[in-house]
Amino acid sequence: MELTTVWFGLIAVLWAGYFLLEGFDFGVGILLPVLGRDDRERRLLINTIGPVWDGNEVWLLVAGGATFAAFPEWYATLFSGFYLPLLIILVALIVRGVAFEYRGKRDHAAWKRRWDYCIIGGSLVPALLWGVAFGNIVRGVRLDADHEYVGGFFDLLNPYALLGGLTTLTLFTLHGGVFLALKTGGEMRERAGRLAAVLAVPAVVVAAGFLLWTAIAHPDTGGRLLSGIAALALVGAAVATRLRREGWAFVASGATIVLATFALFVTLFPDVMPSTIDPAYSLTTTNAASTPYTLGVMTWVAVAFTPIVLVYQGWTYWVFRKRLTVEHIPVAPALAGETG
């Protein structure tokens, strides 16, 4: 197998890992105003992802770095053509990270409320725009003979890409609800479980529509089988939430996200960014790749360090595996400026 194919597959794994782990982070942030009825409950929700959210974002950094090193022309075209939506995602992630750190710096209701809005927006915006971005990558964009994007911002807001955005938004929100039902105890666990069962319905409908559209638009690729398995996994997640089997529901929702990501990459291969102007202008794993020497060095580095990273992150989740309840959250002093 050629190293270009190997690294295309590794990048798919990195994005799948990012969406799997950061997906429930986004879901928790989106559900913050729905499940968090008061400051103590919102602190509980934030604490469920507090030890892991920044580590989950490492997958995004590695995915971007691997793309830059392995397929520099893909990276250049992607970040220049999608500059505005990617900048919006970056700003949202920065604001969200700052909000996690600054929310508890003052015992003032308005202060905490503003940072809560930042957490909600910083979770919702990337959850939506990542789907829009990947929808455009799979669908294809206006690339000229020099592999430069010649379309406009509103060209990216086509129906297929917007449906992709709704798909990631609903899947991540469901994934977050299932995670909270698995991670919390007491009344919060019950409320999160009931909400996850409700969220499963639109997630199944929207994701099934997007996967079906993808399969119809790309009938000659191997992504159909993975799309079908992903759809079955999502149905399994919906059933498990109804039965209140949080562990199985989380496995199924996570499998849905991973399989759907792999399905998009398999559908895309051997292109990395198709051109809708002329297929000859498309970027592929061959014409967008670095030199064989660069790919070879990267492979040895990945072989050496990837197991270390995986073991460390797995250890982190093991250490913080226990359920949290409101009783674990200290009662804070009365918030200044709080009404009602």
Domains, the chain, ordered by start:
11-311 (1.20.1630.10)
Say how far apart CA 258 and CA 108 lie, in whole Å.
Answer: 40
Confidence of residue 337 (pLDDT cuts 50, 70, 90): low
Residue 309 has pLDDT above 50, yes or no: yes
Amino acid identity, residue 164?
G
Nearby residues of 33 by Cβ (< 8 Å), 6 or more positions away: 116, 120
* CA–CA gap between residue 296 and residue 286 (Å, rounded): 15
Across residues 97-122, what is the average pLDDT?
92
Least confident range from 46-55, 101-110, 214-223: namely: 214-223
The proportion of the chain whose per-residue pLDDT surpasses 70, expressed as a percent, equals 97
Q: Mean pLDDT across the stretch 122-149?
A: 93
Calculate the CA 261 to chain-centre distance.
10
Average pLDDT over residues 213-240: 88
Confidence label for 233 from pLDDT (cuts 50, 70 and 90): very high
Average pLDDT over residues 175-195: 94
Residues 158-184: what's their mean pLDDT? 95
pLDDT band, very low/low/confident/very high, at 108 (cuts 50, 70, 90) = confident
User: CB of 147 within 8 A of CB of 73?
Assistant: yes
CA distance 278 to 115: 46
The reported pLDDT for the residue numbered 218 is 83
Instruction: Kindly report, residue by residue over 287-301, the tens digit of the pLDDT.
Output: 999 999 999 999 999
| pLDDT score, position 338 | 57
Whether 152 shows a pLDDT value over 90: the answer reads no
Determine the pLDDT at residue 190: 94
Residue 340 confidence class, pLDDT cut points 50, 70, 90: very low
The pLDDT, as a whole number, for residue 100 is 92
> 236 with 252: CB under 8 angstroms?
yes
Q: In the prediction, which pLDDT does 335 show?
A: 60
Name the average pLDDT for the chain: 91
Angle formed at CA 139 by CA 134 and CA 143, multiple of 5 degrees: 100
Predicted pLDDT at 336: 55
Query: Does 209 have pLDDT greater than 60?
Result: yes
Rounded to an integer, the average pLDDT of 296-315 is 90
Q: What is the mean pLDDT of residues 327-333?
A: 76
